[in-house]
C-alpha cells in the first residue's frame, strides 16, 4: 500500500533533508506534495535524482486525503495548520516546538517511547523533539534502565544549521571575510560566530536560562517519563552540521563504564566509538550524514559516588530532526 504525503516547509533545511530521507528509505509514497509560504511558492526542490517538486502555497492546500503531513516549518505555521491537517484525517508529525509540552500530544523518539503513539494514529498530531533532547534521550533511556538517573549535567555544542540557512551563510561569510581583511556583522546570530563560541541559543528567560536550555530540560523529562534533575548550558559553535554534548550522569546504583558501553552497543540507533587509546572517538564531522546517535569517551566520574561522563554527537538535521520524523511514520505503518 502507498500513501499520500505532504511536506510543509519543504524549502527549508529540515524540509529538504526530510525529502531526501523519504526517498533514501523508499517510503511507500503514492503522491508527494511540497508546501511552503507564499514567498517560496514556485521553488524547485529535488526529490531523488529524477523528480523535481514545485512548492505550492500551504494556505491554499486541502489536507483531505493526505495520509501523512510532515511539518518542518515554525511554531506559528504548526499552530495554524497542524490542527486542520489532523481534522482532515492526516497523521501530523510536527518538528516545531509548539505542541511538544502539550500533555495531550505525544512527544516521540521511536527508540525510546513509541508506545505513547495512539493506535490508530489517523488524525493525530505527534510532536518531534528538540534536536538535543532527541539524541540525549536515545542515550539516557538504556542507561536509565540499568539504574535510575538522579541527575544529568550537560553542556551542548550546537552547530549553526540549528539556527537555519541564514546562520550557515553567516558562518561561511564571516569566515571568508576574516581571510580577506573584511567584516561581516552578525544578523542571524546574536554575536560573531566565526572562530568564536556563543553561550546563547534563543532568548534569555527571567532566571537567566535560555529558551533552548529550558526546552531540553522539560522535553527530556517528558520523553523519559521521569523528573530527572537536569542542568544545561547551550552553546552555539562554528560548525555547519552536527550537535555535540558533554554529559555527566549520576545514578542511584553503581554502573561501570564497561556495563554502560555494553548496554549502549546493543541498542538500535546508537553507535559506540570509544577507543581513546587509539584516538578513536566521534566528532561532529564524523556524525554528519549518519543516522545513528554516536557516543564516545564513556568513563567514570570520580567526583560523585555513582557517576559517568559521556561525549555524544548527532547530525542535527538528520536524526535530530528529519530522520526521526520519518522513523515515526515508518513505525506507525508497522503498527
87: CATH = 3.40.50.720
Report the pLDDT value the prediction gives residue 282, as an integer from 0 to 100: 97
Looking at the structure, tell me whether residues 155 and 270 fall in a common domain.
Answer: yes
Looking at the structure, tell me whether residues 12 and 113 fall in a common domain.
Answer: yes
Looking at the structure, tell me whether residues 138 and 77 fall in a common domain.
Answer: no
Tell me, yes or no, whether 187 lies in a domain.
no
Report the pLDDT value the prediction gives residue 119, as an integer from 0 to 100: 87
Looking at the structure, tell me whether residues 67 and 121 fall in a common domain.
Answer: yes
Report the pLDDT value the prediction gives residue 321, as an integer from 0 to 100: 85
* Active site members: 131, 243
Tell me, yes or no, whether 68 lies in a domain.
yes
Tell me, yes or no, whether 203 lies in a domain.
yes
Report the pLDDT value the prediction gives residue 150, as an integer from 0 to 100: 96
Looking at the structure, tell me whether residues 230 and 153 fall in a common domain.
Answer: yes
Tell me, yes or no, whether 285 lies in a domain.
yes
C-alpha cell recorded at residue 182: 573584511
Complete edge-to-edge strand list for the sheet that includes strand 229-236 = 229-236, 149-158, 243-251, 307-314, 293-301, 270-272
Q: What is the tens place of the pLDDT at every residue in 124-147?
A: 999 999 999 999 999 999 999 999
Q: Which domain holds residue 272?
A: 133-159+197-315
Beta carbons of 149 and 227 less than 8 angstroms apart: no
What average pLDDT does the structure give for the chain? 95
Looking at the structure, tell me whether residues 12 and 101 fall in a common domain.
Answer: yes
Looking at the structure, tell me whether residues 10 and 76 fall in a common domain.
Answer: yes
Confidence of residue 48 (pLDDT cuts 50, 70, 90): confident
Give the Cα separation of 299 and 67 in Å (integer).
45
Buried residues in 224-261 as b, exposed as e (16+ CB within 10 A) = beeebebebebebbbbebbbbbebbbbbeeebebeebe
pTM of the complete model: 0.94
Q: What is the tens place of the pLDDT at every residue in 76-116?
A: 999 999 999 999 999 999 999 999 999 999 999 999 999 99
Looking at the structure, tell me whether residues 271 and 294 fall in a common domain.
Answer: yes
Report the pLDDT value the prediction gives residue 320, as an integer from 0 to 100: 87
Tell me, yes or no, whether 298 lies in a domain.
yes
> What SS3 class is residue 7?
strand
Percent composition of the chain: helix, strand, coil (DSSP 3-state, to 5) = 35, 25, 40
Q: What is the tens place of the pLDDT at every residue in 150-197?
A: 999 999 999 999 999 999 999 999 999 999 999 999 999 999 999 999
Tell me, yes or no, whether 174 lies in a domain.
no
By DSSP bridging, strand 125-127 and strand 91-94 are parallel
How many independent structural domains does the chain possess? 2
Looking at the structure, tell me whether residues 44 and 152 fall in a common domain.
Answer: no
Amino acid at each position: 500500500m502507498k500513501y499520500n504525503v505532504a511536506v510543509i516547509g519543504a524549502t527549508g533545511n529540515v524540509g529538504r533533508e526530510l525529502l531526501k530521507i523519504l526517498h533514501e528509505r523508499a517510503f511507500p509514497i503514492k503522491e508527494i506534495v511540497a508546501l511552503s509560504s507564499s514567498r517560496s511558492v514556485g521553488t524547485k526542490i529535488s526529490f531523488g535524482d529524477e523528480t523535481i517538486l514545485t512548492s505550492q502555497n500551504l494556505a491554499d492546500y486541502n489536507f483531505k486525503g493526505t495520509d501523512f503531513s510532515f511539518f518542518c516549518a515554525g511554531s506559528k505555521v504548526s499552530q495554524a495548520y497542524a490542527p486542520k491537517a489532523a481534522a482532515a484525517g492526516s497523521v501530523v508529525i510536527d518538528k516545531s516546538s509548539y505542541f511538544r509540552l502539550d500533555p495531550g500530544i505525544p512527544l516521540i523518539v521511536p527508540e525510546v517511547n513509541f508506545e505513547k503513539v495512539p493506535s490508530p494514529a489517523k488524525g493525530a498530531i505527534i510532536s518531534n523533539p528538540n534536536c538535543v533532547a532527541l539524541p540525549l534521550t536515545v542515550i539516557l533511556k538504556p542507561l536509565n534502565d540499568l539504574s535510575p538517573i538522579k541527575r544529568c549535567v550537560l553542556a551542548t555544542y550546537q552547530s549553526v544549521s540549528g539556527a537555519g540557512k541564514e546562520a550557515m551563510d553567516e558562518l561561511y561569510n564571516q569566515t571568508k571575510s576574516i581571510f580577506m581583511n573584511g567584516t561581516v556583522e552578525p544578523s542571524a546570530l546574536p554575536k560573531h560566530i566565526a572562530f568564536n563560541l556563543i553561550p546563547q541559543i534563543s532568548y534569555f528567560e527571567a532566571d537567566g536560562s535560555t529558551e533552548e536550555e529550558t526546552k531540553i530540560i522539560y522535553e527530556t523529562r517528558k520523553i523519559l517519563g521521569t523528573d530527572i534533575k537536569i542542568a544545561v548550558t547551550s552553546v552555539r559553535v562554528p560548525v555547519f552540521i552536527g550537535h555535540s554534548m558533554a554529559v555527566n550522569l549520576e545514578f542511584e546504583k553503581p554502573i561501570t563504564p564497561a556495563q554502560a558501553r555494553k548496554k549502549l552497543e546493543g541498542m538500535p540507533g546508537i553507535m559506540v566509538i570509544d577507543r581513546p587509546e587509539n584516538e578513536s572517538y566521534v566528532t561532529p564531522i564524523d556524525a554528519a550524514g549518519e543516522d545513528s546517535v554516536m557516543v564516545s569517551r564513556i568513563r567514570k566520574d570520580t567526583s560523585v559516588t555513582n557517576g559517568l561522563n559521556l561525549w555524544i554527537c548527532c547530525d542535527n538535521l538528520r536524526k535530530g530532526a528529519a530522520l526521526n520524523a520519518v522513523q515515526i511514520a515508518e513505525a506507525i505503518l508497522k503498527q
